Chains A and B, each alone.
Chain A
Amino acid sequence: MSQVSVTELSKELRQAIEQLETSGKIDEVGVVIRIGDGVAWVHGLRKAGFSEVLQIETEDGIVEAFALNLLEDEIGAVLLGEDAQVKAGQTVRLKGTVLDVPVGPELLGRVVDPLGRPLDGGPAIKTKARGIVEREAAGVMDRKSVHEPLMTGIVSIDAMFPIGRGQRELIIGDRQTGKTALAIDTMINQAKQKTGVINVYVAIGQKLSKIARLVDRLKHEGVMDQTIVVATSPSDPASLLYLAPYSGTAMGEYFRDNKGHALMIYDDLTKHAVAYRQMSLLLRRPPGREAYPGDVFYLHSRLLERSAKLSDDLGAGSLTALPIIETQAGDISAYIPTNVISITDGQIFLETDLFYQGIRPAISAGLSVSRVGGAAQTKAVKGVSGNLKLGLSQFRELASFTQFGSDLDDATKKQIDRGQRLTELLKQPQYQPLSVWQQVASIAAVTGGHFDHIPAANIKPAQEAVLTKLWADHKKAMQTLDEGDKPTEATEKVIAETAKKVAKGFED
């Protein structure tokens, strides 16, 4: 436990006083001519560059802003702090750098704002490196195709819409459909399976209570040690909400560029677009469709292009992105959703109807897709997922018949029963991601028909029982299966037998 040391305090004060020197040189300065709504209009500073940091000298210290509108007569700079202390007539200087944030492993386990300042009450963050917030994406030759899986631990995703390292997979749905829950489970799975993937969770305009709960949950699950949380609340200036995803990406790129793997979660980009719209309107930029500025596509495309799988020459690191978009009344054909869908490599669509039917995660198997697909899927899961997809698609076609209860032939009834069992299998409680062997065993048990005589309501308990028994009796085989390779015939046999045995206990 640290003590309050007077010697240390006095040393710090002396250091501060010594550092206090003025250069005596002639500095280029500007003056604030107008201030309002988080935007300061500055006269002078004709050498200012785009996105360069300006320092406004107020009575309470320096307030930073960055230049976004470079006009002939004045500069429109968006404030990075509160505008309460900024007054017209105050002096403005150029910092001489573009916006950058501290990056590095020192940030792990911390909750920071988009400028890298700690929000968790901990000590100030001192990093060796700084990363530029607005950076160009890797070129074509610097990349490699996505081929390594990123296991989310959620059966429906890993089996049917597998995500690879370096992919951008959009999570889209109405409010309260479990979008953030999916992202959290993915983060928890990285810690549980010890994949070594660093999580960067960017909260854009999220309630502080929600962020606090999320951080608590991550600590509880032991994930916080490999997570960075970049947090902004709805009460923060729009400039911070605008910068948050870019800052977070700069922090993730550090790991990508140093042979590591990172996972970015942007929660959510709808609020990001709204904040950018607010800033653009206040900067007097012409509004376009739905009052968004004309470059709202570029806003997201340049962000998501930075998520990539690098070539072996550059260290083979990767940055995977899971952007989240909130739709209104399930309308995925609105402006921002269609923009982001066209940028990402697939989407996971969450439906309100499925959620209220009790199917959670409420993933719509019909509308969701992963454009990388099998190339990034573990072989073990790939082997069993074909039957799963087929069973579910057949069930979807026949789903309407179950409502009528008409006389059906045996084959149809069988397909419907199988589909109901598969749907039941895909339900998964929150914060309980499954490992590779658990997913393979569960899917194989159902698609192999061993659970056909178990009522749908007992499928989940039966699944748990099978997994417990397999782990107890055949631990070594399951550990081998967990490595991801295609299961041997012996392993498949073991799974089938165990499933058959256990199923007897749950039949009617």
Chain B
Amino acid sequence: MNILHQFAAETTAPDADLFGALGIDWRLLIIQLIAFLILVFLLGKFVYPWLMKQVDERQANIEAAAKAATEAKKAADDSKEEVAQLLDTARKQAADIVDTAKLESVEIIASSERKAKQSAERIVEDAHEQIDKDIQAAKKDLYNETLELVSRATEKVAGSAISAKADDERIAKAVKENA
């Protein structure tokens, strides 16, 4: 510093006419200029980039926040629409299910009625059939019994009614017929 002051003091006397008239010490000016340039350089190298970086980051965050806000809003709108749609579909399906269930119940009732009616008709038919069968069986037994009685009676009666002569004549006739 003393050197600078000394440099400055020494130099003032000879050049007093131009710069002196203006009140500017050109040596001090040069030093100040150099000091300023050094300052600018240092600021430019260390402070300015860091500062700019911070500013950029801040800017980016703000933009991101703004974007997210917009998207969130959009998503909310979409999901609202989707929910409305789902509710709609669910209502329709519920209606379908109820319809189907009603149809099935009607079908089941109709089918049970049909089956019950068929069952009743069949019981009556079976009963008629059984009676018919019983009558047929009785007729058959009567017929067979009568057949048996007829042949027994014939055996007994013919045994005493036929004479040897009549039998012989009958046989001769039969043999002749086969000739």
Contact = CB atoms under 8 A, between A and B. Distances in A.
A469 B103 contact: yes
A9 B96 contact: no
A334 B43 CA distance: 104
Given A9-B146, A504-B93, A123 B100 contact: no
Q: Taking chain B's interface residues, is the majority helix, strand, or loop, or is none over half, making it mixed?
A: helix
Nearest to B175: A24
B104 A4 contact: no
A291 interface: no
Interface in B113-160: 122, 128, 131-133, 135-139, 142-143, 146-147, 150
B178 interface: yes
A121 B150 CA distance: 26
Given A9-B139, A122-B136, A465-B100, A1 B128 contact: yes
Contacts of A2: 132, 135-136
Given A1-B128, A24-B174, A468-B100, A123 B143 contact: no
B122 A219 contact: yes
Nearest to B146: A13
A25 interface: yes
A501 B146 contact: no
Interface in A453-472: 464-465, 468-469, 472
A4 B122 contact: no
Contacts of A84: none
A117 B79 CA distance: 80
B168 to A, nearest CB: 16
A502 interface: yes
Nearest to B103: A472
A502 B38 CA distance: 85
A505 interface: yes
Nearest to B138: A4
B177 interface: yes
A123 B136 CA distance: 7
Contacts of B131: 1
Nearest 9 A-B pairs (CB), nearest first?
A505-B97, A24-B178, A121-B133, A504-B93, A501-B96, A472-B103, A468-B104, A469-B100, A465-B100
Interface of B: 93, 96-97, 100-101, 103-104, 107, 122, 128, 131-133, 135-139, 142-143, 146-147, 150, 174-175, 177-178
Interface of A: 1-4, 9, 12-13, 16-17, 24-25, 121-123, 219-220, 464-465, 468-469, 472, 501-502, 504-505
